[in-house]
Amino acid sequence: MKSKKMKSKNTNVNKIDDARLYFSEIRVKLFSFNGHPLAQENVYKKEIYIALLCSISAYDGEIAKEETELIKKIVNGINLKTNYSQLVRLGAEIEKKTIDDFFKEFSNKPRAFNFLFDALLLASCDGFIHDKEIELISEISELLRILPKDVEIIAKLVSSFTAGDKTLTKKLVKKVKYASIFKYLLAQQDGNVTLLKNTIRKTTIRKTTIRKTTNFLGFLI
């Protein structure tokens, strides 16, 4: 009798775990980053953009479930139909051609700022930004020709967005060099930041992290 109870209990737990996985699928659909500027680009540009994000996510050893969910929200928001596992593989096995094409398409262009925002949001969503991730994002930002002062504003924008501070987010969007490319965030905030606690864990980028990122960029440039 006791073993039957244990079996029943384990079965229920498994079902709840399955339900939580389904919750994640629902969140991806409900809170996709609709209006993301990358939705206007061609499929290949979208693929290499997501591939680089996957590379950043995997650099600390594994892609956390929060990071997976966030990447899928971006993928959904930009209407990219490529299989997710294929995108992860493209990022994990990143080739020189993909890297060259990425910088050719995004360097010194407005979309570079979107990438930096998404990269910092992704790096922070598991609750901790690893030094290796900061260094990698800094190196990519340098090659994207983003200045340290712009990195700091975008880092603060990530912080205000994840904290749900809509007033500060509006102010910071106006300060970004290409303000129009971040207007979609203002529409997102009512749903995403309030309800996506499992994805972002109310993570904020601390001032020390911002200084560390910008200092590293300053050194590179």
Phi–psi pair at 49, nearest 5 degrees? -65, -50
The CA distance from 154 to 176, in Å, is 7
Closest CA to 155 of 77, 69, 215, 199: 215
The CA distance from 154 to 146, in Å, is 10
Q: What is the pLDDT, as a whole number, of residue 29?
A: 61
Whether residue 101 lies inside any domain: the answer is yes
Whether residue 27 lies inside any domain: the answer is no
**Number of folded domains in the chain?**
1
Whether residue 7 lies inside any domain: the answer is no
Whether residue 151 lies inside any domain: the answer is yes
pLDDT at 6 over 90: no
The CA-atom distances, in angstroms, between 199 and each of 35, 63, 65, 70 are: 19, 13, 8, 7
Whether residue 43 lies inside any domain: the answer is yes
DSSP 62: S
Whether residue 173 lies inside any domain: the answer is yes
Mean of the pLDDT values across residues 144-158?
A: 92
Whether residue 5 lies inside any domain: the answer is no
Mean of the pLDDT values across residues 145-166?
A: 89
Mean of the pLDDT values across residues 107-112?
A: 94
Mean of the pLDDT values across residues 41-68?
A: 86
Do the Cβ atoms of 24 and 77 come closer than 8 Å? Answer: no
Average pLDDT, the chain: 77
pLDDT at 150 over 60: yes
Question: Which residue range(s) make up the domain with 184?
Answer: 32-220
Q: What is the pLDDT, as a whole number, of residue 57?
A: 84
Whether residue 215 lies inside any domain: the answer is yes
